[in-house]
Amino acid sequence: MAAVVLALSGAMAMAQETQLEGIVVTSSKVPAKAVDSPSPSSSIGGAKPAAPVATAPGEAAQAASAQSVAGKSELELFQPQTIADSVVGIPGVATQGNADDPGQAINIRGLQDFGRVNVTVDGARQNFQKSGHNANGQFYLDPEFLSRIDITRGPSATVFGSGAIGGVAAFTTRDVIDLLKPNETAAFEQKTGIGTNGIGWVSSSSAAVRAGPNVDLYGQFVGRDTNLYDNGNGDSVINSFWEDYGGLAKFAVRPETGAQITGSALVQRFAFINGNGLNVENPMRDTNVQADTYTLGYAFARPDTPLIDFSAKTYYTTTVTEQEQIFPLTNPIRTRSFDIDTTGFDIFNTSRFKTAMLGHTLTYGVDGFMDEVKVVDQFSTADLFTPSGDRSVYGGFIEDEIRFTSWLRFIGALRYDSYELTGNGLGSDGTHLSPKATLAVKPVVGIELYGTYAEGYRAPALTETIITGLHPPFFTIPGANIPSPFEFLPNPTLMPEIGQNKEIGANFKFDNVLVRGDKVRAKISAYREDVSDYIELVEFGPPVFFSFCPAPVPGCPPVPVVTGLLNTFSFVQYQNLADAQLDGAELEFEYDWGDGFMHVAATHTRGKNSETGGPLNTVPPDRVSATLGLRLLNKKLVAGTRVTLVDHSDPNIDPLLFPFASGYGLVDIFGSYQITQDVSLDGIVYNVGDQQYRTFLNYDDSPGRQGKLAVTIKFPAGGVF
């Protein structure tokens, strides 16, 4: 892979686009664009997105499914520090994380953990999982590497792999087209940002080269150092700082007309001090995370071969967490490590043809991945609660979009999945066939209505199946009988989850509504998903009692003088619930009139155990986000505000797993000024009112008021070949 040498010095740049991408939605899989010869500015080393890049800012085709995009300009405008910051304006999406760990878990429509949401970076699955008082499935990615985020909500993404009963979150990293204009052959860009209340500093150095008309090279180096932040009450949040650095390299080679070979390597390192997830200092561990993603792909598409629109990709991801206990100090020093490696592939082809008067877009292919989990903990039980083992998942799919007329289309699909896992002498396997059917109709110009039935299939994870061990480990005190509060039990008879989603929706697309050149885009959907054999932790067994002598010395009476209830249950096990039910509605609206824009995203989600009527623990509260921006000074200045309103969480969720979160309202203000064609200044103030709040699913308070300022300078070189 060609190397691109980057420097961390320099001033700073971020060529701020002045329009939001908005709602970018289309069919669930987009093959390579059919062109005579791929443009030198074509994307390199990327993934198959859930939606294509808009042909112009704010422009996008509409999809007969719930999809949204956060594009490059939106990411630059809000300057996210974490992945959680990146998805605030996307309906149906929430995150879980802690202040003492920069890893993030994606929640879509109340579903998360153990692969219920298929998270990919440049098409490579991110399957890392570490059991603890946090999410059971998180990934590490600095948002400075991001070019766009594609979200597909619900199990309608038949062609995006196994397990995604919640949906797909596809993260695409930057490449040549994010830095070079069509008439440029090389450029270097330096961005430097500083901030208050824990933000610290960030530096992003990137370079791109078009080495001839058929070779693209891209490289980027990112460094970030955050500080301890204060909550809205002015109190410092424990261990709320980290540092990370990483590099990204990509290449694209076009050996012949219509063909493209791509490759990418993303290498990241994170360092932080990690507690036990409960916002307390005992124990604390010095933590280092290695998060690497490598991809290699080939694509072929030409307009004279409508039956061949081919893509093949293989990938390898590895996430290694190494921890050393620093408080309380022990002798010997306690260390542990979590290593999850994923090797996968994705091969598909799209054929376009007609039968009689019907137009067909037929997509078919195979995909698969294998997880290898290796956990080492010589002094405690991390290797029991995140057990080592192997899991392989393979599948095949076929999807046909049939166009009857310009106003009527039908999408039918089938997906076959199989899995097998082994570990600790236990194992399980299974197969399933998942159907999908969508009917979409345009009753009038600018409006499309659709209805969908889709199934998804999620195999049990290694941890869910073979977890075992006492928690906390058994300990003794002289003269006492204090057992462990409870014991985890394995469950090799776990059944896979099957999500059955019923959804209706409407897409709206109008131009020149109030003033000449304005654009209205909107999407609304309502759904109900029933998850058969939903897997959740279940507490059961007789109560656990303790007894001890207040003075465990010789002469202590043989009959203990102090007894009590240690725990109301003695066993915990992942089990299949009879059924879980999730329902809700989502709205996304965008209006752009040239001199300004507004965007509204609203989410309403409810979830329950259909057998008991109790709530599901990971269903987030209702949320509304509204952004208003103005383009001033001949559109060189973009200024505006974002308001986020969040309801309180369900008070009936398990308080041992997720603490109650009160509702809150936040106001952010942002501005971006294009000083020259190649120099920009960007600023944002988060939580202007310095509100005290805590995001649902998190154990730590969120930051109070924060400010951030970034300068970007681009150094272009050379003209087009």
534: closest CA among 489, 581, 579, 467? 579
User: What is the 3-state composition of the chain as percent helix, strand, coil, each rounded to the nearest 5?
Assistant: 5, 55, 40
Query: Using one digit for the tens of pLDDT, what is the confidence trace for 300-341?
Result: 999 999 999 999 999 999 999 999 999 888 888 999 999 999
Tell me, yes or no, whether 11 lies in a domain: no
**pLDDT for the residue 162:** 87
Neighbours of 676 (CB within 10 A): 9
Rounded Cα gap, residues 160 and 164, in angstroms: 8
165: closest CA among 113, 122, 121? 113
CB contact at 8 A, 288 and 250: no
Residue with tokens 């095949």: 396
**pLDDT for the residue 472:** 79
Task: Quote the strand ranges of 101-164, DSSP E.
Answer: 101-108, 117-121, 124-125, 146-153
Q: What is the CATH number of the domain that holds 339?
A: 2.40.170.20
**164, amino acid identity:** A
Tell me, yes or no, whether 266 lies in a domain: yes
**pLDDT for the residue 1:** 37
**13, amino acid identity:** A
- Count up the domains in the chain and report the number: 1
Q: Which DSSP state fits 154?
A: S
Beta bridge partners of 86: none
Rounded Cα gap, residues 57 and 474, in angstroms: 60
Rounded Cα gap, residues 577 and 84, in angstroms: 30
How far is CA 322 from its chain centroid?
23
Tell me, yes or no, whether 569 lies in a domain: no
**pLDDT for the residue 594:** 95
Q: What does the block give as tokens for 665?
A: 């309202």
Rounded Cα gap, residues 186 and 268, in angstroms: 25
Rounded Cα gap, residues 243 and 258, in angstroms: 42
Give the angle subtended at the CA of 574 by the CAs of 572 and 577, to the nearest 5°: 115
**pLDDT for the residue 35:** 28
Rounded Cα gap, residues 56 and 601, in angstroms: 21
Tell me, yes or no, whether 291 lies in a domain: yes
DSSP string, 36-90: SS--TTS--S----SSPPPSSTT-----SS-EEEE-HHHHHHH--SSHHHHTTTS
How far is CA 379 from its chain centroid?
33
Residue with tokens 């792909």: 297
Tell me, yes or no, whether 153 lies in a domain: yes
**pLDDT for the residue 660:** 78
CB contact at 8 A, 150 and 496: no
How far is CA 424 from its chain centroid?
30
Supply φ then ψ for residue 343, to 5 degrees.
Answer: -115, 130
Tell me, yes or no, whether 416 lies in a domain: yes
Tell me, yes or no, whether 31 lies in a domain: no
With a cut of 70, list the residues of the chain below it in pLDDT. 1-61, 157, 277-282, 474-481, 550-561, 655-657, 718-721
Tell me, yes or no, whether 47 lies in a domain: no
**pLDDT for the residue 473:** 72
Neighbours of 133 (CB within 10 A): 14
**pLDDT for the residue 451:** 97
Domain that holds residue 451: 67-460+495-534+577-719
Helices (H), 443-534: 462-466
Query: Using one digit for the tens of pLDDT, what is the confidence trace for 184-241?
Result: 999 999 999 999 999 999 999 999 999 989 999 999 999 999 999 999 999 999 999 9
Rounded Cα gap, residues 223 and 7, in angstroms: 11
Supply φ then ψ for residue 73, to 5 degrees.
Answer: -65, -35
**pLDDT for the residue 464:** 95
209: closest CA among 197, 200, 196, 219? 219
CB contact at 8 A, 454 and 528: no
**pLDDT for the residue 2:** 36
CB contact at 8 A, 147 and 14: no
647: closest CA among 94, 59, 2, 83? 94
**pLDDT for the residue 719:** 60
CB contact at 8 A, 10 and 205: yes
**173, amino acid identity:** T
Alpha-carbon radius of gyration of the chain: 26
Task: Quote the strand ranges of 211-356, DSSP E.
Answer: 215-225, 242-253, 259-274, 284-301, 309-327, 335-355
Q: Which DSSP state fits 17?
A: -
Q: Which DSSP state fits 177?
A: G
Rounded Cα gap, residues 265 and 217, in angstroms: 12
